[in-house]
Structure 1
Amino acid sequence: HNGYKATDKHKTDLNFENLKGGDDLDPNYVLSSRVRTGRSIKGYALPPHNSRGERRAVERLSVEALNSLDGEFKGKYYPLKSMTDAEQEQLIADHFLFDKPVSPLLLAAGMARDWPDARGIWHNENKTFLVWVNEEDHLRVISMQQGGNMKEVFRRFCVGLQRIEEIFKKHNHGFMWNEHLGF
């Protein structure tokens, strides 16, 4: 894979101060900026294989962790199961929410099993920090905003992701990680 050897080690740098540039992208060309990643929680099967009970446990743990965030990260969880169709469509149109998988590959892998049970979106009050729960990963963490200040988007992403990881570790559920493959 592009020269990545079996002995290579994955490098992750979530120190936002190490980002060079990114705060002066041309507003004539950049409408919005986004950074996102997926995380899987240790102790639970990955989404294509987890049971309804595991998916619900991931949702409970995630909601508890996310609802404990404060400051710029204070927010609320919205389960898909209790959203109206209009609310879902609006969040999808605003690029905040994922939709039910339609790809034959994802469907064959079981990604839509029990849809929409134990799936949802959590976001901060400004809708600039979002977490999708039980989409293709246990968690999909997203920092986004209008304009081209990628430095600010990346700062929020790094700080928020690190806070979430700390909370999960306090609950004895860190994120899956491998020194060769990463997260």
Structure 2
Amino acid sequence: SDGTDRKAKEVASPLGLSVRGTGGEHTPIGADGTVDISPRARLFIKEKEIIQNLYDGISLLLEEEKKAGGAKSASADGPYAAFLASLDEVRATQPQNLCAKYLTTDLFNSFNDEQKAILEQCARTGVENPSSALGCYAMTPSDYDVLNAFFDPVIRDYHGASADSVHITDWDASDVGENGVLDMSKLGLDELSMRVRVGRNLSSFNLPGAMDRAERIEFEKTMLAAFDKLISMEEYGGHVYSLTPDFGNGEENPNKITDEEYQELVDAHIMFKNMDDDPYLKSAGIASDWPYGRGCYVSADKQFIIWFGEEDQLRIMCMKKGSPRARLFIKEKEIIQNLYDGISLLLEEEKKAAGE
């Protein structure tokens, strides 16, 4: 059924049968595999022999067709043949690529069709960028559950965690150092530039790789209420700097900055660089719709910065020059809690407005 005559002729010829297409003498087999077979001999052969040879020829051709169809099905599952072949190649040449290491053909084929489509999207960046160390991104929060057979070993390998390890969040640093203080000055060091950074994503939105322009804008507008809470607090204040050209439907963006202002923030290491220049993020869909839904909040003293719309929906950073290390973690915890409170309040108000 591959559109050529060679295999069919190999089967039919020993039986004294000719092979041709349905268009007549010397026409090839059609792309759909339809074939016309007939006896070459017209003389010196009995009619019953012709009937027997035609029957045997049809039987052998059918057997070969089944073999070909089975091999095709087993080898690649049709539309994902090139994808799986690329994974095999990456696995052989780039052993550090965890996506390729764990996403074998057998594992891929253990998922249903809907899950395969999602998994292909999650793994695309690892295939298109073989030098990746991780090589995959979940597209929605539920992917970690639905595709757990893939993501769980990848995550554990990346973090060096055993199969029975359980992550526990614990910000309590009271038993660290002296009453929760690790003072670098006691090591004879001058003031250090210190930074604590965490990534956060809201479960009510798709993850960045699956968000479209409208959802990116919706996320930004959702976060503005939380940023307003921080701006209203004396210890934070600050401003939102947005790259989004507009909010759509004629709605202007009051926080939009110019290209020159954006570059100044990049040069000052406050804003992230153009994501469209990152091949890893482009392959994953995370850089799509640039620059919509991207920007940052900066506190008045520039010690707190929150990126929105980058690799994670939120990157929350606390920076300070000094010596006591643990205090920085406490400040980071405080801003995360304040941000969470602002988001929770907004979502609660939305539910009330919707009558839920």
> TM-score, with normalisation over the residues of structure 2?
0.45
Residue 3 of structure 1: CA displacement?
5.0
Quick check: 1:27–1:147 contact (8 Å CA) kept in 2?
A: no
- 1:33 lines up with 2:194 in the alignment: yes
SS of match in other structure, 1:15: coil
**Which is helix-richer, 1 or 2?**
2
Root mean square deviation, CA, Å = 2.2
Structure 2: gaps of 5 or more residues: 1-156, 245-255, 349-356
Structure 1: gaps of 5 or more residues: 174-183
User: Among 191, 206, 222, which residue is 1:61 paired with?
Assistant: 222
Cα deviations by residue, 1:46-94 (Å, 9 ceiling, x for unpaired): 0011111111111011111111121212222110243223222221222
Q: What are the residue-to-residue correspondences of 1:1-183 with 2, within 5 Å?
A: 1=157, 4-20=161-177, 21-25=181-185, 28=189, 31-69=192-230, 70-81=233-244, 82-101=256-275, 102-172=277-347
The CA distance in 2 between the partners of 1:74 and 1:113, in whole Å, is 31
The CA distance in 2 between the partners of 1:119 and 1:64, in whole Å, is 16
The CA distance in 2 between the partners of 1:39 and 1:32, in whole Å, is 23
* Percent pairwise identity: 31
Quick check: 1:38–1:140 contact (8 Å CA) kept in 2?
A: yes
The CA distance in 1 between the partners of 2:173 and 2:334, in whole Å, is 8
Indicate the residue corresponding to 2:89 in structure 1: none
Instruction: Indicate how the Cα distance of structure 1 residues 16 and 119 shifts in structure 2: closer, same or farther if over 3 A, else same.
Output: farther
Q: Which moved more, 1:132-141 or 1:148-157?
A: 148-157
In structure 2, what residue type is equivalent to 1:62?
Answer: M
Quick check: 1:33–1:149 contact (8 Å CA) kept in 2?
A: no
Instruction: Indicate how the Cα distance of structure 1 residues 54 and 154 shifts in structure 2: closer, same or farther if over 3 A, else same.
Output: same
SS of match in other structure, 1:71: coil
Residue 99 of structure 1: CA displacement?
0.8
Q: Which moved more, 1:15-24 or 1:129-138?
A: 15-24
Pick the structure with greater CA Rg: 2
SS of match in other structure, 2:183: coil
In structure 2, what residue type is equivalent to 1:79?
Answer: S
The CA distance in 1 between the partners of 2:175 and 2:242, in whole Å, is 36
Choose between structure 1 and 2 for higher RCO, CA contacts under 8 A separated by at least 6 residues.
1
In structure 2, what residue type is equivalent to 1:96?
Answer: I
Quick check: 2:200–2:313 contact (8 Å CA) kept in 1?
A: yes
Quick check: 1:143–1:153 contact (8 Å CA) kept in 2?
A: yes
Aligned length: 173
Quick check: 2:225–2:346 contact (8 Å CA) kept in 1?
A: no
In structure 2, what residue type is equivalent to 1:157?
Answer: E
The CA distance in 2 between the partners of 1:27 and 1:116, in whole Å, is 45
The CA distance in 1 between the partners of 2:320 and 2:188, in whole Å, is 13
In structure 2, what residue type is equivalent to 1:24?
Answer: M
In structure 2, what residue type is equivalent to 1:4?
Answer: A
Residue 28 of structure 1: CA displacement?
4.8
